[in-house]
Amino acid sequence: MIALVGAWIILAIVIGFFGRNRRFRFWGYFFASVLLTPIVGILLLLAAIPLREKKHHHHHHPAKH
């Protein structure tokens, strides 16, 4: 039982680490993984758009005068 809880928490930390540059940041993915299972955390992570990519699409066009 303790090993299962430990693995659950470690997975949640890993998912949070990979989600640190995404919409919900580390803590959002960490808590989603802890509360909703790591499988749901992984699905949220895969569905999220990285913040860096999203910003690049909006700031490359110079303003027209």
- The Cα–Cα gap between 62 and 47 comes to 30
23-65 pLDDT tens trace: 889 999 999 999 999 899 989 888 887 666 555 445 555 566 5
Q: Is residue 32 part of a domain?
A: yes
Domain hosting 13: range is 2-59
Q: How many domains does the chain have?
A: 1
Q: Is residue 65 part of a domain?
A: no
Q: Is residue 64 part of a domain?
A: no
* pTM attached to this predicted model: 0.67
Residue 65's pLDDT is 59
- The Cα–Cα gap between 40 and 58 comes to 30
Residue 26's nearest CA partner among 57, 5, 48, 8 is 48
Q: Is residue 21 part of a domain?
A: yes
Backbone angles phi, psi at 9, to 5 degrees: -65, -45
Q: Is residue 29 part of a domain?
A: yes
Confidence tier at 9 by pLDDT (50, 70, 90): very high
Residue 24's pLDDT is 87
Residue 59's pLDDT is 52
